[in-house]
Chains A and B, each alone.
Chain A
Amino acid sequence: GESVGLHLPTLSVQEGDNSIINCAYSNSASDYFIWYKQESGKGPQFIIDIRSNMDKRQGQRVTVLLNKTVKHLSLQIAATQPGDSAVYFCAEKRRTDSWGKLQFGAGTQVVVTP
């Protein structure tokens, strides 16, 4: 079925380097995308979002890129820190869903090494 999926289940990054987490989606009706960070034993934490009428959005140390042509979403984390170690989920909302349900990807485990 249609879903949001991730290319890499685990990403090992050296402290100070930039991280790139990728996500593919397949539903053309998706109009809103969110990245969440989930630390062990905690609930997902909102990081950044982007609407489908945008290609790029920046936050503090994070950038989300959206390529609608190939249905690809990425999260870039600049100068990765040990506190960035977590599982990152992309989620999409479809304009056809009136309740605002989110479809989640499988998640990417980011491990920051010293």
Chain B
Amino acid sequence: GAVVSQHPSWVICKSGTSVKIECRSLDFQATTMFWYRQFPKQSLMLMATSNEGSKATYEQGVEKDKFLINHASLTLSTLTVTSAHPEDSSFYICSARDERGPTDTQYFGPGTRLTVL
């Protein structure tokens, strides 16, 4: 199997505070993980590509100083939303790239619902 977990599943924070979201691949190692953001009734928007042992690659328009990504091990990537504001409220989803087999598939975590008051 290929299981990806996220923690927390939901978080409520005050404006101006920082929030850290963890993404773990539970039964495989992932050199590459991805962070997405999703608004209601919309598709997934890729924010950044997280590479183990190196700096993340951010998509155009995504502020790297606001969305800090750390991929310190082959099973863990973290996304920290710094100085969060209400407009950062969203559903954040991570995925891990599974390169074990002949195909190259991304498996997703359950998502984290962030609400900034």
Contact = CB atoms under 8 A, between A and B. Distances in A.
Contacts of A41: 111, 113
Interface residues of A, number: 22
Nearest to B5: A43
A45 B108 contact: yes
B103 A49 contact: yes
A44 B108 contact: yes
A42 B104 contact: no
A23 to B, nearest CB: 12
B82 interface: no
Contacts, number: 56
Nearest to A50: B103
B105 A34 contact: yes
A102 B103 CA distance: 13
A49 B105 contact: yes
The interface residues of chain A, by DSSP majority, are classed as strand
Given A100-B106, A104-B44, 6 more contacts: A41-B111, A44-B108, A89-B44, A99-B57, A101-B34, A106-B43
Nearest to B2: A46
B93 A100 contact: no
27 contacts: A32-B103, A34-B105, A34-B106, A41-B113, A42-B110, A42-B111, A43-B6, A43-B108, A43-B109, A43-B111, A44-B95, A44-B108, A46-B105, A46-B108, A89-B43, A89-B44, A99-B57, A100-B32, A100-B97, A100-B99, A100-B106, A101-B46, A101-B49, A102-B46, A102-B106, A106-B42, A107-B43
Interface residues of B, number: 26
B97 to A, nearest CB: 5
Contact of A46 (B32, B34, B99, B107): B107
A51 B103 CA distance: 8
A49 to B, nearest CB: 6
B113 to A, nearest CB: 7
